[in-house]
Amino acid sequence: MIAEYFPVLLFLAVSVGLGVVLISLGLLFGTRKTTDEKVSPYECGFEAFDDAHMKFDVRFYLVAILFIIFDLEIAFLFPWAVVLTELGAFGLVSMFLFLLLLVIGFIYEWKKGALEWE
């Protein structure tokens, strides 16, 4: 069982190695002449207008939270989907009750406007 993951480990090692090799090739053969102008941040050609700090938008946080919740829902769905034929009607009804609870939460956040971006 564990041994089946060995090709994945190998693949990971090869891809990391490939990335390192390609980047170091660029470092080896490329020319690097930096000036202040070159390393300054790019803002469509203009100088930066104001401070780089900006207010954190809570909407991103809300999206992340909702993702965590529905991600967990999927984690519960996976084992259920695999053994559904053995579980029968009882398993089906149980999962549908669980999904019903989640849908109630989903409707709540929809009506609250948590999914509106504008």
Partner 1 sequence: MSLTLNHYLIFSTLLFMVSLGGIFANRRNILVVLMSLELLLLSVNTNFIAFSKFIGDVDGQVFVFFILTVAAAEAAIGLAILVMLYRNKKSLDVDDINELEG
Which residues of the chain form contacts with partner 1 (CB under 8 A)?
A: 56, 58, 61, 65, 68-69, 71-72, 75-76
Nearer to partner 1, 6 or 46 (CB): 6
Instruction: Return the closest-CA partner of residue 76 out of 105, 106, 96.
Output: 96
Nearer to partner 1, 71 or 116 (CB): 71
Cβ contacts of 109 within 8 Å, gap of 6 or more: 66, 115
Buried b (16+ CB within 10 A) or exposed e, 5-29: eeeeeeeeeeeeeeeeeeeeeeeee
Residues in the chain, total: 118
CB of 60 to partner 1, least distance (A): 11
CB of 40 to partner 1, least distance (A): 30
CB of 100 to partner 1, least distance (A): 17
Nearer to partner 1, 44 or 64 (CB): 64
